[in-house]
Structure 1
Amino acid sequence: MNLIIQGNDVQNNDLRAIAKLAEASRIDRITGEAFRLLDAQPHPDITEYCEEASLDHAFVPSGKKLTDFGLIAMDMDSTLLAIESIDEIADMHNVKPQVSAITQSTMRGEISFAESLTRRTALLEGLPQEALQKVYDERVRLNRGAEKMLQRMQSAGIKTMVISGGYTFFTDRVKDRLNLDYAFANTFEVQDGKLTGRVLGNIIGASGKGEILKRIRDELGLSKEQVIAVGDGANDLKMLEESGVGIAFHAKPILREKATFSLNHVGLDGIVNLFE
């Protein structure tokens, strides 16, 4: 077993202390902020030590390679992107506090996603469609390490997919920008150039995300173990359950509890550092 240590400022004394706790045989440098401790053993104090030092840690089987995988599925808002797109749309319509409150309640698993999206979309009624492009142009930001991570995935022959509980207006543009293979999201209704406050078709929520991932996985002829899924909230639980490796990225506790690995400090490029 290898122990991967990552952080924005990894100190040598912390590495040595963790290596001693883990009885590691060697410390290999992966990048300036990622290190692999070989032949590591679990120790009850490692988690607390890493939390106090603001370090991410993950025990990964030796020999686990990035090329062992064939598909990575990602949530969009607050995962691939550094924003909640619906909150930014709401800001254009002067209803951001109301929408943000519903978003946070959903992320904590307090209300169903379908109810949440229906309520949030209803608050956007009357918003001119051109405001969406303004949000995309002015406010959409990728999370740190996103492009580097995707380039590594794509160079390894791994298919890339975003599955969002947000809107196709954004996922379609993100897909084109990042050369993703697949993009799935919800579609809002527009009449006379304005949002009606309604969602068209079946809402993609937690169950829908899992179903889509399973369908694409099967179409590609991949096993569950060949899939990585990345998310940040309760809505991503089913997606992670349909993957061999589930990664909680700067996530809510409900997702961290179920994930294979958690990244709380480094960027998305920290995912590729987990594998050889």
Structure 2
Amino acid sequence: MNLVVQGPEVDSNVLKTLACLTGASSIVQITPTAFRLVDAQAHGEVAAVCARAALDFAWTPKGRRLGDFGLFVTDMDSTLIDIECIDEIADLQGLKHEVAEITEAAMRGEIDFRESLTRRVSLLAGLRVEALAEVYEERLALNPGAERLLRGLKQAGIYTVLVSGGFTYFTERLKQRLGFDEAWANELEVSDGRLTGRVTGPVIDAAAKAAHLVRARETRGLRAEQTIAAGDGANDIPMLREAGFGVAFRAKPVLREVADCCLDHSGLDGILNVLD
């Protein structure tokens, strides 16, 4: 196995400590802030050493490369972007705190996603549809490394899918902006220029996210181990379980437990380093 270590700053002494602990045969620099420890063996102290140094780490089979994969599927809110769109929409209704509490409970897996979606969207009833543009243009930002990640995936010929329990207003714009091949999300119902407090069409919940991954995988004739999925909350668990390589980005503990790789300090482009 190889051990990939990365973070904002990687101290050479920490690398040497990890190499000693794992019996690595060599240390290879991937980028200025990412390194591969070749032929490393699992050791119980690795997680603690990396945590103290604010580093992410991931174990990877020797010889595995990005080109071995054919599909990437990612969540949007708090994964691809740095906000929960529904919380920011609710803020324009003066209800951010109330909606954010429901969002957090759903992400921790404490309440059913469909129930949380219905409750939160109902609180948006009456809001002008122009509020969506205000959130997109003034409050939404990509998480670090998102653009480099998508460029790298495209260069490797990997099919990309954005699937979200959020809303089509945002996924469609991000699809065009970043070049995703597909985008799926919930559609807010609008009447007379205002949100009705309901969604229309199929609900994109945890099961639907996983189903879109499986559909895209089977359509392209790929095996499970040729797929990558990224997310941050309980709603992403089934999707990550269907993927060959699951990435938890700044994630809740419930998702970290099922992920192959947790990125807490690196940007999304850290995925490229792990699979380089």
TM-score range, shorter chain: over 0.9
**Matched residue SS, 1:3:** strand
Q: Tell me, yes or no, if structure 1 residue 37 matches structure 2 residue 37.
A: yes
Which ranges of structure 1 fall in alignment gaps of 5 or more residues? none
Give, in angstroms, the shift of residue 264 of structure 1.
Answer: 1.1
Backbone CA RMSD of aligned residues: 0.7
Partner of 2:246: 246
Query: 2 CA distance for matches of 1:222 and 1:99?
Result: 39
**Matched residue SS, 1:80:** coil
Query: 2 CA distance for matches of 1:179 and 1:149?
Result: 11
Partner of 1:74: 74
Deviations 1:36-95 (A, max 9, x none): 000100011111111111111111001001000011000000000011111111111111
Partner of 1:218: 218
Q: Write the letter of the residue equivalent to 1:192.
A: D
Q: Write the letter of the residue equivalent to 2:197.
A: G
Query: 2 CA distance for matches of 1:4 and 1:61?
Result: 11
Query: 2 CA distance for matches of 1:140 and 1:177?
Result: 13
Q: Write the letter of the residue equivalent to 1:111.
A: I
Deviations 1:109-133 (A, max 9, x none): 0001000010000010000001111
Output aligned runs, 1:49-128, within 5 Å: 49-128=49-128
Partner of 2:164: 164
Report the TM-score, using the length of structure 1 for normalisation. 0.99
- Identity of counterpart residues, as a percentage? 54
**Matched residue SS, 2:120:** helix
Partner of 2:273: 273
Q: Write the letter of the residue equivalent to 1:35.
A: F
Q: Tell me, yes or no, if structure 1 residue 199 matches structure 2 residue 199.
A: yes
Number of residue pairs matched by the alignment: 276
Query: 2 CA distance for matches of 1:180 and 1:162?
Result: 7
Q: Tell me, yes or no, if structure 1 residue 135 matches structure 2 residue 145.
A: no
**Matched residue SS, 1:271:** helix
**Matched residue SS, 2:44:** coil
**Matched residue SS, 1:258:** coil
Partner of 1:184: 184
Q: Write the letter of the residue equivalent to 2:100.
A: S
Give, in angstroms, the shift of residue 201 of structure 1.
Answer: 2.1
Q: Write the letter of the residue equivalent to 2:82.
A: A
**Matched residue SS, 1:14:** helix
Q: Write the letter of the residue equivalent to 2:111.
A: I
**Matched residue SS, 2:269:** helix
**Matched residue SS, 1:176:** helix
Partner of 2:18: 18
Give, in angstroms, the shift of residue 255 of structure 1.
Answer: 0.4
Q: Tell me, yes or no, if structure 1 residue 227 matches structure 2 residue 227.
A: yes
Q: Write the letter of the residue equivalent to 1:213.
A: L
Give, in angstroms, the shift of residue 202 of structure 1.
Answer: 2.4
**Matched residue SS, 1:221:** coil
**Matched residue SS, 2:199:** strand
Q: Which moved more, 1:46-55 or 1:100-109?
A: 46-55
Output aligned runs, 1:138-149, within 5 Å: 138-149=138-149
Q: Write the letter of the residue equivalent to 1:93.
A: Q
Deviations 1:128-171 (A, max 9, x none): 00111111111110000000011000000001111000000100
Instruction: Give the ranges of 4+ consecutive aligned residues of structure 1 lying more than 3 Å apart after TM superposition.
Output: none
Q: Write the letter of the residue equivalent to 1:150.
A: L
Q: Write the letter of the residue equivalent to 1:143.
A: N
**Matched residue SS, 1:117:** helix
